[in-house]
Structures are given as structure tokens and as C-alpha cells.
Amino acid sequence: MITRCYTDLIQLPTFKERYEYLRLNGSVGFDTFGFDRYLNQKFYRSPEWRQIRRDVIIRDEGRDLAMEGYELYGNIFVHHMNPICSDDLINISESILNPEYLICVSKRTHDAIHFGDTSTLPQLPTERTPNDMCPWK
């Protein structure tokens, strides 16, 4: 299994490349924690998570995949780049609170990473050039 990290991610120059690096190709409806969902909920309410989440948002300047031009307004998700499981939460694995394995994303980007639906990914407006709408030039 590939271990994804922030240091490698930010070397990628485009949003699409960063998305491809993180894409998991999961399936909708797959239950990650099953009956252990309470662990997930307890973790995301912990003071430790709230602090690291805040730190990651500041580091990424509130940008989707930490990309300039992809500022997030409203809800910001802090995504674990490497899937976590119940054991990670029970044992408080080092990776779940390490900013090297976390990134800011929008809900749409988060869903695309997990489920592969690229139609929801944000797009920057196409940069216009002189005569780009003139078919005879």
C-alpha cells in the first residue's frame, strides 16, 4: 500500500495531479467502521483532533488540496490521505494526528477522492486569450 504524504503532494503542480495522487476509487455505501463508528465520532470530537485540524487549515491557508486559487468558503474537511481504520483510532496511531498525512479539501473533492466521481471537482475558469473566440484566426 502506498503511503501518501503532504511533502509529496505539494510537489505536484496541478489540482488534477494532486487529486489523482489521493484518489482511492472506493465505492459508495462501503461501511468503513461498521459497528465501531462510535470510535470515529469520538475521535473527531477530541481536543487533539480539533487542534491538529485547525493547524492544517492554517498551513493550507484554507485551500482545496492546498492549491492557490482553490480557496474554500464554508465547510472545510481535513482529509486523512491514508485511510484509517478502527485499530488506528483505538491505538491512537501516530499517523492520524500527523499533519504530514492530512490535507484540506472541500466536500466535493473529498467525495471524488473516495468514490472517483470527477464531475464534482472544482474547475478554475478557462484563461481567455486574444481572438480565442474568433474561428478564422
Q: What Å distances lie between residue 28 and 22, 25, 55, 64, 111, CA to CA?
A: 17, 10, 30, 22, 9
pTM of the model: 0.81
Residues 79-88 have pLDDT tens digits of 999 988 888 8
Q: Residue 126: pLDDT band by 50, 70, 90 thresholds?
A: low
Position 120: which residue type? T
Residues 26-65 have pLDDT tens digits of 654 444 555 566 787 888 899 999 999 999 999 999 999 9
Q: Tell me how far apart the alpha carbons of residues 114 and 135 are, in angstroms, rounded to a whole number.
A: 41
Q: Residue 5: which residues within 8 A CB-CB, separation 6 or more?
A: 81, 100, 101
Q: Which pLDDT score is estimated for 28?
A: 46
93 burial level (CB within 10 Å; 0-12, 13-18, 19+): middle
- Per DSSP, 87 falls in state H
Every domain of the chain and the residues it spans? 6-29+36-116
Residues 66-118 have pLDDT tens digits of 999 999 999 999 999 998 888 888 888 888 999 999 999 999 999 899 888 77
